Every structure is written in structure tokens, then in C-alpha cells.
């Protein structure tokens, strides 16, 4: 691709939207360009931000850093480099340990991950591939560690990033400099590259 499919909206003129964008200033330190492309149709931007806030809200034992790691694993499986950069940055900002960040793809065996986290991340992988490979064994493992409400939270993160992966890969959304820096540093072991999501 030669560049983004559409341009970002440079000014978010709606005061209500500016208030909602504060969520991203906390999680990422900036407003994502994906929101600025959604804002060509403001209701989509509003609806997405509200959904994102609801999904990432903590109601059980699914921690903020685990949710971001689930988002990263899901995005990596889907191949969206833009979302990989965002989720790894957010996982770090929400307290994921260096051991977890450095060994995310060894989650099944690395001692940094608790059994419940391993099951959640395995579910994220299996729920993100096509065709979906969540079977009874995966379901039983998930139920062993997580409540029904927590399973809803975990599944919601995977589904939210399913939307974002398709949005940002199709749009070839420009990657913001802070997210690019985080991904280049934290994902160099995985040979991450921005690809079509060239940094601003």
C-alpha cells in the first residue's frame, strides 16, 4: 500500500468526543489515529470509544495488563501491526512485567505467567485464528480459572481487537510515533516492523 486509505481528521471539534478521548490519553498517552479516521462518521467514533471503555473496564480478576496482553496476542495472530504496537505499549503502561513483555510467546511455559493467564492467552490465540479453534477442551480450561463474567471480559477483548485489526489493516492507519517507539523496543525479539503502518 502506498499510504493510508483515508486521511485522519485533524480537528476533533466535538467537546463530548474530546472528553471521551481522555481515555486514550491515559491508556496510550495520545489519541489513536484509528479514532481520527472513525471520526469521519462521528457516531462510529463515539460508539467505538464507549465500547472500548466498557471492554477494558475491570470488574473481576482480569487485570488491565492481562487485557492488553490478550489484545496483543489477538492482534499478532490477526497480523495487525498497528494494534500490536498499541497493545504492547498499553500493556507496559498498565504494569505488565518485563518478563511477561519479553516472553509473551512463551506464555504456555514461562514462569512469569500464572496458569489462569496461560489459559486466557491460549483462548485469545484460538479465538483469533480462522477458522476459530475454541473447542470443549479450551472451554473447560477457561471455566477452571475464570468466572462467567470474566470469560465475557476476555472474549470481549478478543472481539474488540477483531474489529480494530480489520479497521486498521484495511485503512493502513498511520502509526503514531510513541506507539512505534514502544513496539520497536518491546517487540524487537519478534522482529516487529511497522509495515504499511508507517510512523507519522
Whether the Cβ atoms of residue 161 and residue 87 lie closer than 8 Å to each other: yes
Domain boundaries, position 85: 15-190
In total, how many domains does the chain have?
1
pTM (2 decimals)? 0.94
**Is 143 within the bounds of a domain?**
yes
DSSP 34-77: HHHHHTTSHHHHHHHHHHHHHHHS--SS--HHHHHHHHHHHHHH
Assign residue 120 the CATH number of its domain.
1.20.1290.10
Tens of pLDDT, residue by residue over 114-126, are: 999 999 999 999 9
The answer to whether position 7 is within a domain reads no
Instruction: Return the pLDDT at 148.
Output: 96
Q: What is the pLDDT of residue 23?
A: 81
Q: What is the pLDDT of residues 146-198, one digit of tens each?
A: 999 999 999 999 999 999 999 999 999 999 999 999 999 999 988 999 999 98
Instruction: Classify residue 198: in a domain, yes or no.
Output: no
Amino acid at each position: 500500500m502506498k499510504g493510508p486509505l483515508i486521511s485522519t481528521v485533524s480537528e476533533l471539534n466535538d467537546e463530548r468526543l474530546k472528553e471521551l478521548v481522555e481515555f486514550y490519553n491515559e491508556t496510550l498517552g495520545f489519541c489513536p489515529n484509528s479514532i481520527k479516521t472513525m471520526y469521519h462518521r462521528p457516531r462510529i467514533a463515539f460508539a467505538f470509544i464507549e465500547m472500548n471503555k466498557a471492554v477494558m473496564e475491570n470488574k473481576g480478576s482480569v487485570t488491565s495488563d492481562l487485557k492488553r496482553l490478550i489484545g496483543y496476542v489477538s492482534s499478532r495472530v490477526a497480523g495487525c501491526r498497528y494494534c500490536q504496537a498499541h497493545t504492547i505499549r498499553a500493556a507496559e503502561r498498565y504494569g505488565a512485567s518485563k518478563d511477561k513483555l519479553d516472553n509473551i510467546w512463551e506464555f504456555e511455559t514461562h514462569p512469569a505467567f500464572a496458569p489462569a493467564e496461560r489459559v486466557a492467552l491460549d483462548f485469545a490465540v484460538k479465538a483469533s485464528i480462522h477458522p476459530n479453534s475454541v473447542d470443549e477442551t479450551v472451554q473447560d480450561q477457561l471455566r477452571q480459572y475464570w468466572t462467567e463474567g470474566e470469560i465475557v471480559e476476555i472474549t470481549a477483548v478478543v472481539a474488540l481487537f477483531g474489529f480494530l485489526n480489520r479497521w486498521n489493516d484495511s485503512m493502513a492507519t498511520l502509526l503514531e510515533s510513541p506507539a512505534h517507539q514502544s513496539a520497536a523496543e518491546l517487540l524487537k525479539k519478534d522482529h516487529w516492523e511497522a509495515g504499511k503502518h508507517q510512523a507519522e
